[in-house]
């Protein structure tokens, strides 16, 4: 390490020393950019988002990092750092990479015990001294393939992260271009480009090493080394004190299992691709029967019409509750960026918007503009037990809408949008946020998430049996002994399955 003003070289490459760190006017970081990390977090952003770290958090390879006294959750994140080479302002994606001067390894360290106090800024949790080590050398960007870089992280010599930039959700060029829309990127500025899955908690005595390679070009940063030490200075009483929630632990360790936390089954975790495929393959009547066997009779949303006929949809519930209109309350809750608009702006793929409108048909609960916004956000469907404005336009959209009829009046005639993501009553049943909802023109059913997997298994078998019985009836067999099947028919059914008759 050279602490002078001039950069040194190692085998022809520039070493990351104090002179390199001193050029960094800004340190910018991407929240989520690797698909493996997004899968852990349970969300895949449509566009990159960012936070800033203090330039004083930068350090060189070999510099120890302190876990602050009184904290537990110091976590590493192996990342590829871009160092801006030439000034960039409002550059295109196509030209953005030419403004990157160098690439190196970095560690986006953070202490989750104080994250709550940042209110999303990450300024204290991520900007501690030494919380952004870089190095050991800079790789020239024009000699690299940014889409084929390998990043690896070791903790005490054990491989913890191993990923390729092939899995990036957003290319490095897109990130640079996007940031340059609002700020001038200057030579020396650093952009941390996100971490893949595998980030976790480290403790005093651990050593974290990170390396970035372009294997085809034969270029490597070498291993960036950061030893972890225990700090002795506690947070002073005049500021926020460390505080940890289960969510913080899960985020710091990467998964609930790694954090040793048992997480209740939710709709998103229960609705795996396998469960989804099985539920979508059977009739809603079959699912209704399986729910009824478990004592769940009041799990259907009744009396609604479908804009997309027999098209079947499935997803997890996001909810919106309207209360009866009262003029003074509409003034405080009905206008501006109200609950209705907030939930629609926040809904995403795999989710179904469910509205409680008390069965009131005397005004619309949404129209074509908000329905289009829900579609653009990637939601699976809209369900309302109230009216819909602009019904012809809504029906022409791709997103299925289940509704209680058309009405030309605006929201405020009958409703005040009150709150979101609460238990609602829609079409005669209760729907809790995260419930699994499956719907088509034959009906709308609510499946408690903790039952989804066992119901999915059961209904596939039930549907197979129904197919067999239907075929036997078609061939002229009597119902007696066949529906339900007696032992003789059950044996014949098993033979049919073994012979591949259900294929």
> What average pLDDT does the chain have?
92
3-class DSSP state of 166: helix
Q: Residue 428 — very low, low, confident or very high, per pLDDT cuts 50/70/90?
A: very high
Whether 390 has a binding-site annotation, put simply, is yes
Q: Residue 464 — very low, low, confident or very high, per pLDDT cuts 50/70/90?
A: confident
> DSSP string of 434-449?
T-EEEEETTEEEEE-G
Q: Please tell me whether the overall predicted TM-score, pTM, comes out greater than 0.95 for this model.
A: no
Residues facing 208 on adjacent strands: 155, 226
pLDDT at 2 over 60: no
What is the separation of C-alpha 141 from the centre of its chain, rounded to a whole number of angstroms?
31
Q: Residue 3 — very low, low, confident or very high, per pLDDT cuts 50/70/90?
A: very low
Q: What is the mean pLDDT of residues 225-244?
A: 95
Q: Residue 8 — very low, low, confident or very high, per pLDDT cuts 50/70/90?
A: low
Pick among 3.40.309.10, 3.40.190.10, 3.90.850.10, 3.50.50.60: CATH of 27-255: 3.90.850.10
**48-57, 152-161, 458-467: the lowest-pLDDT one:** 458-467
Whether 274 has a binding-site annotation, put simply, is no
Whether 427 has a binding-site annotation, put simply, is no
Spatial distance between the Cα atoms of 155 and 209, rounded to a whole number of angstroms? 6
Q: Residue 44 — very low, low, confident or very high, per pLDDT cuts 50/70/90?
A: confident
3-state DSSP helix/strand/coil percent for the chain, to nearest 5?
30, 30, 40
∠ CA 324-326-329, rounded to 5°: 110
- Write down the domain spans for the chain: 27-255, 297-447
Do the beta carbons of residue 50 and residue 181 sit within 8 Å?
no
Q: What is the pLDDT of residues 59-81, one digit of tens each?
A: 999 999 999 999 999 999 999 99
CATH architecture observed for domain 297-447: 3-Layer(bba) Sandwich (3.50)
Whether 370 has a binding-site annotation, put simply, is yes
In 266-413, where does DSSP find H-type helix? 267-270, 273-280, 284-293, 327-333, 339-346, 368-376, 391-396
Spatial distance between the Cα atoms of 96 and 177, rounded to a whole number of angstroms? 6
């Amino acid at each position: 390490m050279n602490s002078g003003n001039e950069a040194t070289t190692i085998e022809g490459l520039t070493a990351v020393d104090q002179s390199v760190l001193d050029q960094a006017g800004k340190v910018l970081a991407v929240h989520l950019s690797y698909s493996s990390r997004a899968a852990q977090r349970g969300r895949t952003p449509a566009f990159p988002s960012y936070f800033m770290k203090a330039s004083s958090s930068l350090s060189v390879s070999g510099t120890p990092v302190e876990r602050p006294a009184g904290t537990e959750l110091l976590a590493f994140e192996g990342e590829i750092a871009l160092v801006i080479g030439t000034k960039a302002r409002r550059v295109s994606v196509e030209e953005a990479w030419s403004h990157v001067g160098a690439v190196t390894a970095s560690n986006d360290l953070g202490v989750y015990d104080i994250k709550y106090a940042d209110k999303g800024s990450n300024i204290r949790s991520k900007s501690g001294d030494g919380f952004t080590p870089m190095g050991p050398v800079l790789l020239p960007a024009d000699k690299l393939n940014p889409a084929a870089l390998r990043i690896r992280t070791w903790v005490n010599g054990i491989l913890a992260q191993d990923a390729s930039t092939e899995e990036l959700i957003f290319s490095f060029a897109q990130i640079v271009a996007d940031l340059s829309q609002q700020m001038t990127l200057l030579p020396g500025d650093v952009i941390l480009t996100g971490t893949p899955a595998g980030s976790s908690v480290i403790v005093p005595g651990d050593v974290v090493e990170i390396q970035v390679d372009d294997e085809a070009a034969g270029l490597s940063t070498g291993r960036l080394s950061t030893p972890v030490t225990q700090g002795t200075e506690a947070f002073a009483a005049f500021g926020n004190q460390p505080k940890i929630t289960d969510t913080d632990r899960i985020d710091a360790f990467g998964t609930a299992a790694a954090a040793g936390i048992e997480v209740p089954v939710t709709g998103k975790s229960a609705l795996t691709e396998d469960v989804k495929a099985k539920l979508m393959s059977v009739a809603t009547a079959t699912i209704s029967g399986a729910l009824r066997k478990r004592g769940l009779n009041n799990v259907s949303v009744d009396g609604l019409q479908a804009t997309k006929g027999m098209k079947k949809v499935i997803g997890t519930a996001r909810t919106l509750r309207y209360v009866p209109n009262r003029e003074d309350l509409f003034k405080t809750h009905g206008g501006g960026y109200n609950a209705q608009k907030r939930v629609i702006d926040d809904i995403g793929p795999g989710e179904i918007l469910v509205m409680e409108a008390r069965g009131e048909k005397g005004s619309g609960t949404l129209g074509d503009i908000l329905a289009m916004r829900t579609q653009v956000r990637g939601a699976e469907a809209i369900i309302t037990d109230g009216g819909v404005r602009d019904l012809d336009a809504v029906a022409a959209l791709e997103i299925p809408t289940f509704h209680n009829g058309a009405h030309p009046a605006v929201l405020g005639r009958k409703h005040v949008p009150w709150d979101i993501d609460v238990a609602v009553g829609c079409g005669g049943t209760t729907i809790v946020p995260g419930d699994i909802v499956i719907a088509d023109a034959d009906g709308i059913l609510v499946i408690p998430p903790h039952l989804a997997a066992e119901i999915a298994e059961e209904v596939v078998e039930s549907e197979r049996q129904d197919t067999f019985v239907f075929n036997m009836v078609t061939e002229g067999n009597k119902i007696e002994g066949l529906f339900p099947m007696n032992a003789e028919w059950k044996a014949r059914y098993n033979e049919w399955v073994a012979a591949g008759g259900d294929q």
